[in-house]
Amino acid sequence: MTGRPELEAALEAVLFVAADPVPRQRLLDLFDEGDREEAAQALEAVLARYAPAEGRGVAAEEVAGGVRLVTRPELAPYLRRFFEAAGESKLSVAALETLAIVAYRQPITAPEIQELRSVNPAAVLKTLLERRMVRITGRKEVVGKPFLYGTTREFLMHFGLNHVRDLPPLEELEEALRDG
């Protein structure tokens, strides 16, 4: 049996070194069978320790089916200054519109995207593929077998989503837009 403090310490250390979100189960699998129940509680305790709070710079987030530690967005100016990072988005309006179409209507083909935006999406899709926001998920079984596109884990991570179904419903967004 591993003591509770060691379980918590190990979990914190692993979350600290893991750059990518780690699925909960993978964290628990680090321990012996007999310790997993206790480890699950230890994990919740560690995550509670990293709840966003005043004076704290790091917080735990659930994203892309896992948990990870990230800096809190309010601190962006300090981090940008220190790491000399640019704060500008690399996604153009065209890229964001195409990404939204892929995200909400996936899996979707290029001709179907063109139908929705009335603009040839080839160049933008290439950018999104290169930036790993979008991936080819297969081919559609219609004439010409066009590629099907969907979003990636990178997309979920970047937009802080746990799953594609966590995207806000389109209807809600439109209402917010009408009110605004």
Footprint of another protein (CB under 8 A) = 13, 16-17, 19-20, 68-77, 79-80, 83-94, 96-97, 99-101, 103-104, 116-120, 129, 131-132, 135-137, 147, 152-154, 158-161, 167-168, 170-171, 173-174, 176-177
What one-letter code names the amino acid at 134?
A: V
Number of residues that bind a copy of itself (CB under 8 A): 62
> What, of another protein, a copy of itself, none, does residue 33 touch, CB below 5 to 8 Å by kind?
none
137 burial via Cβ count (<10 Å: 0-12, 13-18, 19+): middle
Q: x-or-dash pattern for a copy of itself, window 89-128, by CB under 8 A? A: ---------------------x---------x-xx-xx--
> What, of another protein, a copy of itself, none, does residue 10 touch, CB below 5 to 8 Å by kind?
a copy of itself
First vs last Cα of the chain: how many Å apart?
A: 57
Nearest distance from residue 52's CB to a copy of itself, in Å? 10
Nearest distance from residue 170's CB to a copy of itself, in Å? 14
Residue closest to 123 by CA, chosen among 103, 131, 156, 115:
131
Residue closest to 156 by CA, chosen among 44, 68, 79, 57:
68
> Is the CB of residue 133 less than 8 Å from the CB of residue 155?
yes
The site for a copy of itself (CB under 8 A) is made up of 4-5, 8-18, 22, 26, 29-30, 54-58, 69, 71-72, 74-75, 78-79, 81-83, 85-86, 110, 120, 122-123, 125-126, 129, 136-139, 141, 145-148, 159-162, 166, 168, 173, 176-180
